[in-house]
Amino acid sequence: NILYVRGLWAQQLGDEKAAARCFWEAIRKSPTHRRASYQLGLALQNIAPTAAAAFSERGARVTAADIDAAKLETAAAAVGTTPVVCNVADRDQVETMFATAAAAHGPIDLVCANAGIGRNKALMTTTPANLDLLFDINLRGPLWTAQASHAHVRATGHRGRNLFPASENSLSLPDAVRDMKLGAYAATKHALLILAEWLREEWAGEEITPALLFPGPVYTEPFRDAVASGRFGEGIDPARKAAIES
């Protein structure tokens, strides 16, 4: 694929934006091009490391939340956002996060509920603790966020939009991940899909709307660390793992 090769060349020259455009066009022409998808994730991370940075660069007043206080402070200082330490599995902490954001910046236009985790673990060996953690972050977190956002909209009368990270696993079992033991993770993402459908139903006629993203693999920091350490895709077919990582 010539577009993929051009993207690699642009990366070698340090032109990440051109590289991202080439990889994106390669994926448009060949949606199953795993190497282009992986390299696009790398390029996009180098262009805009976080959603907070992307919004800040466009003049938005941003509150960034994370469970890791040290990393949050570093990121917030780098992009000029208001930091709030928050565990999205804790409903009270989510409500405090909204109160802090509103006090700092006024009415909230957009909520990006990006927190999410995955585990490569077979369903037959998944433990209650494994399942609780996945559902706490990937489903309860979005629900508590939606509740706090709805309360904020009703209190302020300001229109609000909520963006939730679903997954290609919300819709089907993608061939690319069949060996990766993502059954419990996929269950949380499938549940998030119907959660958003019911939010749309319950919010009908109000000044608040839900929206979902359905990405493939996203090159987050935990994903990067797993690849670097060799933990990514444990148990996956070696040929398929090589194709994803290269």
Read off the pLDDT of each residue in 59-83 and give the average, rounded to a whole number: 87
Q: Are 152 and 98 in contact (CB under 8 A)?
A: yes
> What is the predicted pLDDT for the residue at 234?
46
In the block, which residue shows the tokens 């990766």? 180
Assess whether pLDDT exceeds 50 at residue 153: yes
Tokens representing 130? Answer: 């494994």
Assess whether pLDDT exceeds 60 at residue 233: no
Of the two residues 34 and 89, the one the predictor is more confident about is 89
Biggest CA–CA distance in the chain, Å, is: 54
Q: Are 181 and 122 in contact (CB under 8 A)?
A: yes
> What is the predicted pLDDT for the residue at 243?
45
Q: Residue 227 — pLDDT band, cuts 50, 70, 90?
A: low
Q: Residue 236 — pLDDT band, cuts 50, 70, 90?
A: very low
Q: Which residues on adjacent β-strands are paired with residue 208?
A: 160
Total-model pTM: 0.74
> What is the predicted pLDDT for the residue at 97?
96
Read off the pLDDT of each residue in 23-30 and give the average, rounded to a whole number: 78
Assess whether pLDDT exceeds 90 at residue 41: no
CA distance 103 to 99: 6
Q: Among 58-62, 191-195, 208-212, which stretch is predicted with the lowest mean pLDDT?
A: 58-62
Bin 205: left if φ > 0, else alpha if -120 < ψ < 50, else beta: left
Of the two residues 175 and 70, the one the predictor is more confident about is 70
Q: Among 22-26, 46-50, 105-109, which stretch is predicted with the lowest mean pLDDT?
A: 46-50
Read off the pLDDT of each residue in 28-54 and give the average, rounded to a whole number: 69
Q: Residue 244 — pLDDT band, cuts 50, 70, 90?
A: very low
> What is the predicted pLDDT for the residue at 47?
61
Across 18-32, 209-223, 225-239, the highest mean pLDDT is recorded for 18-32
pLDDT in tens, 104-136: 999 999 998 988 888 889 999 999 999 999 999
Read off the pLDDT of each residue in 23-40 and give the average, rounded to a whole number: 75
